[in-house]
Amino acid sequence: MIAKTRKKKIDRCGSTLDLIYIDICGPLTPTALGGYKYFITFIDNFSRYGYVELIHEKSDSLNVCKAFKAKVELQLGKPIKVVTLDRSDEYYGRYDKTGRNPGPFTKFLLECNIDARYTMPCTPQ
């Protein structure tokens, strides 16, 4: 008799907007209608509700994230607490002679008091 493997329990946060996973995917081949090459996903850990936005360039991710933040915080009446994203350049910034130079995305998260958790690039949540 073969025993069934047990599913690993997935840890969930206690409420919506406690933890949001953000990832940029692409480039799309062929490009989508309108010339979109990439898409960005936002997934809420608690509800598993997902948002997908098409973007032309990775550099558009900051404006899309600002719009997403404003939209969901208005709808739910509470702030985003933590985001998980990879350490890719569009989020994290680049090294310079003085050390780590945070990019505009990281600065935006700091200004909004959103805790950023980073994973390695190209790894799933």
Which domain, by its residues, includes 61?
A: 19-119
Listed residue (81, 85, 83) closest to 73, CA to CA:
81
**Reported confidence tier of residue 124, pLDDT bands at 50, 70, 90:** low
Residue 13 counted as domain residue: no
Residue 94 counted as domain residue: yes
* CATH, residue 67: 3.30.420.10
β-strands 115-119, 82-86 pairing: parallel
- CB proximity list for 97: less than 8 A, separation 6 or greater: none
Residue 14 counted as domain residue: no
Residue 76 counted as domain residue: yes
More confident residue, 31 or 89: 31
**Reported confidence tier of residue 119, pLDDT bands at 50, 70, 90:** confident
pLDDT higher than threshold 90 for residue 112: yes
Tokens representing residue 17 in the block: 């907007």
pLDDT at 98: 60
Q: How many domains does the chain have?
A: 1
- Residue pair 106/93 in contact (Cβ under 8 Å)? The answer is yes
pLDDT, tens digit, 9 for 90 and up, residues 11-21: 777 899 999 99
CA–CA dist 50, 33 (Å, integer): 21
- Residue pair 44/16 in contact (Cβ under 8 Å)? The answer is yes
pLDDT, tens digit, 9 for 90 and up, residues 32-88: 999 999 999 999 999 999 999 999 998 899 999 999 999 999 999 999 999 998 877
Residue 11 counted as domain residue: no
Residue 96 counted as domain residue: yes
Rg (Cα) of the chain, in Å, rounded?
Answer: 17
Compute the C-alpha angle 125/43/109, nearest 5°: 90
Residue 124 counted as domain residue: no
pLDDT higher than threshold 60 for residue 125: no
Residue 6 counted as domain residue: no
**Reported confidence tier of residue 97, pLDDT bands at 50, 70, 90:** low
